[in-house]
Amino acid sequence: MRLLLSSCIEFLQERALHVILWNNRPSIDQHFGKPKEMERAMPSIEIQVLEGVFSAEEKGKIIQNVTKAFGEVAGQTIQNGTSVRLLEVSSGSWGYAGNILTTQDALEMRARD
């Protein structure tokens, strides 16, 4: 199971996505109430991408697929309480190994597929 989640993270990282997995963080449910089966704090997954690289539809698919992949490892109950946030970072505000990355760089990476 751990291999599936690792593969999912590698897949996202290869596509210019940055993934942070956090457990036991406050969720939006604390403000709106939550079902009884989600009494415990659920995992929160944060994905950072450069702005302008993914359409709204693609971002929705990323969120859905990451949630599903996490649920395949963690189980349906935890999947139902998993929070996924996709955050866009301004072009030129991201560095990797000392190199500044831009939206154009990420679009060029995507074009290689």
What CATH number is associated with residue 19? 3.30.429.10
pLDDT band at 1 (very low <50, low <70, confident <90, very high): very low
> Which amino acid is it at 62?
I
Give residue 79's Cα distance to chain centre. Answer: 13
Identify the residue with better confidence: 88 or 23: 88
Output the CA torsion 79→63→22→29 (10° steps).
-60
Task: Name the residue with tokens 């072009």.
Answer: 91
For the cut 60, the answer to whether the pLDDT of residue 40 exceeds it is no
Q: What is the mean pLDDT of residues 59-72?
A: 94
User: Which has the closest alpha carbon to 62: 18, 112, 1, 96?
Assistant: 18
pLDDT band at 50 (very low <50, low <70, confident <90, very high): very high
CA angle 63/68/71 to nearest 5° reads 125
Structural domain of residue 33, as residue ranges? 2-111
